[in-house]
Amino acid sequence: MYGLIGYPLGHSFSEEYFTDKFLKEGIDNSYHLFPIREIRLLPELIGSHPDLMGLNVTIPYKRDVFAFLDSVSRDASAIGAVNVVRIERDKDGAVKGLKGFNSDWIGFMESLKPLLREDIKNALVLGSGGASKAVVYALGRLGVRSTVVSRSTGDGRISYASLDRKIMADNLLIVNTTPLGMWPKVESAPEIPYELITPDHVCYDLVYNPEITEFMKLSSEKGATVKNGLEMLHRQAEVSWKIWNE
C-alpha cells in the first residue's frame, strides 16, 4: 500500500494516477489518499496500516514532516522540503525507519525544459512553501536565477507589491507554487501585474486542477506561453515509485 498525506486532498489526482498505473502494469498494489488534519497524526496512520510502504507528501506538510523522519536524502536536505517518504520495515513488518526524499524538483525540471529559451536567465517564483523550495533548487540546476515573491519579505524574498515594470521585464519565467487557483477556489490567482506580462514570458503553474487556472488564463491573454503542473505530477510520481522500490 502507498498513499498521499496532506490537507485537504480533494484536488489531488495522485490516487487516480497510481491506480491506473497499477492496473496497466499488472502491479498488485493500492494507493490511497490520507487527508490528515495534523502532521502529528502520521505515526498513528503508519501504525494502523501495516502494509503501508511509502507516502507522498503535499501541502501543508512538506517541511513539517522532517520532524518524523529518521534520515533525509541529500537533495531533500538541500531543498528543505520532502514530498516522498519511504517506510522501511523489517521482515516481520515492523517499522525500522522513515526516509525522506524530494521528487518535485525532478518533475518540475524535466517538465520545464521544453519551454526554456536562451533568453530566460531569471525567474520569479511565487510563494515560499515547500514546493517553492523545490522549484528554486531545480532552477539553480538549470542555470536560471530565481527570486522568490511572497506576502512577507526577508531572506531574499520580495513582495508582490514590489513587482514593477523592470522586474517583470527582467524575469521572463514566472512560476506559481502557491495553491491559489486550485480547485475548488478556481477564481483566485496570485496578485501580480498581469498587464506587464508579454508574449516573451513563460508562466508555469504547479496547480493542475483545474486544467487552465486563472493565473494561466490571465497570462495567456497577454500572449504568454503557459503550462500547468500535470506533467510535473506524473514525472515526480514515477520518481516516487522508483524511490519506494529501490
> Residue 207 corresponds to which cell in the numbers above?
496547480
- How far apart are the C-alpha atoms of 170 and 146, rounded to whole Å? 11
Q: What are phi and psi of 154, to 5 degrees?
A: 110, 160
**DSSP H/E element including 55:** strand 54-57
- How far apart are the C-alpha atoms of 230 and 218, rounded to whole Å? 19
Helices (H) and strands (E) counted in the chain, each on its own, are 8, 12
- How far apart are the C-alpha atoms of 152 and 67, rounded to whole Å? 25
Q: What are phi and psi of 233, to 5 degrees?
A: -55, -50
**20 close to 194: Cβ distance less than 8 angstroms:** no
Cβ-proximal residues to 30 (8 Å cutoff; 6+ apart), any chain? 1, 2, 19, 22
Q: Catalytic residue positions?
A: 62
